[in-house]
Amino acid sequence: MCGRFTLTADANDLQQAFDLRTIPTTITARYNIAPTQPVAVIANDAPHDLTFFQWGLVPSWAKDTSIASKLINARAETLHEKPSFRSAYKRRRCLIPANGFYEWAKTPTGKKPMYIHLKDHQVFAFAGLWESWHSPDGDEIRSCTIITTTPNALIKPLHHRMAVILNPANYDLWLSGEELPPDILAPLLKPYPSDEMIAYEVSPHVNNVGNDTPDLIQPYHPPTQGMMF
DNA sequence: CCAGACGTTGTT
DNA sequence: GTCTGG
DNA sequence: CCAGACGTTGTT
DNA sequence: GTCTGG
């Protein structure tokens, strides 16, 4: 799945990768983006602008925002039928730029965090959905969720779900505001090729959402357990 | 008709 | 908002 | 995703 | 154990 990720590309890289109208001025390198935080998105209602939405979908009918942290991911297989996602799937799709993401691999000694990124180090885009929610006092909250699918060979040992990374050739189609037939969109939501990605262990510092520094993505070699005699 | 849910991951 | 369960 | 809280009444 | 906050 995807519960933590990075966005370290600079403004020029982002403008180029996503054909943005202007060079973003509000972007800073992030090494530990967590649910409920603002994330950079390119939404289909302004497909050449980078904006910030809250991570965790709040459907328009929600009474409050407490549902958000449960809706940080959306299963690709059932988007069209789930009340929380289907209207966004029809009309409110977005790109969520990232340079990499974290997975926590279960081991007999506990969970160890892994960092995964593209071999060519390029910025990529998760397939996302977005919503606009109006609070009782009239504020608008825009939120988003990251779509997941089955894992590729690299991720499979770590988790049974992985985030959808879109092929750049499909950015325009994904961002069309049209209600497209299922057989047009569904093929985009497939596992990214594992031979273009790499994974390695990182320090448990990433566990704490308050940590957000470049050392989080450095390869980590856990101290070996000494003999106790 | 109204009331209540609406989700994922992971674990059992 | 829209569907399901009662 | 992980970390941290998990309660009330009343007082400052 | 389960929910909330980040």
Q: What is the pLDDT of residues A124-162, one digit of tens each?
A: 999 999 999 998 888 899 999 999 999 999 999 999 999
- Report the pLDDT value the prediction gives residue A131, as an integer from 0 to 100: 96
The pLDDT tens digits for A87-138 are 999 999 999 999 999 999 998 888 999 999 999 999 999 999 999 999 888 8
Collapsing DSSP to helix, strand or coil, A138 comes out as coil
Rounded CA–C1' distance between A185 and B3, in angstroms: 35
Q: Per-residue pLDDT for A52 more than 80?
A: yes
In the sheet that holds A110-118, the strands lie side by side as: A30-33, A5-7, A100-107, A110-118, A197-201
**Closest Cα to residue A147, out of A130, A127, A133, A171?**
A127
Query: Model ipTM?
Result: 0.86
pTM, rounded to two decimals? 0.94
Q: Per-residue pLDDT for A217 more than 80?
A: yes
CA nearest to nucleotide C4 C1': residue: A83
Show which residues sit with Cβ under 7 A of nucleic chain D: A 1, 3-4, 34-35, 69, 72, 104, 111, 113, 204, 207-209
Cα(A11)–Cα(A168) distance, integer angstroms: 18
Q: Which residue among the candidates A2, A94, A131, A144 is catalytic per the annotation?
A: A2
What separation, in Å, do the N-terminal and C-terminal C-alpha atoms of chain A show?
41
Cα(A14)–Cα(A195) distance, integer angstroms: 24
Q: Per-residue pLDDT for A59 more than 80?
A: yes
Q: Which residue among the candidates A77, A81, A94, A103 is catalytic per the annotation?
A: A103
Catalytic status, residue A144: no
Catalytic status, residue A2: yes
Cα(A135)–Cα(A65) distance, integer angstroms: 9
CB atoms within 10 A of CB A214: 10
| Closest-approach nucleotide to residue A70, Cα vs C1' | B7
- Report the pLDDT value the prediction gives residue A108, as an integer from 0 to 100: 85
Q: Per-residue pLDDT for A207 more than 80?
A: yes
* Per-residue flag: A206 CB under 7 A of strand B: no
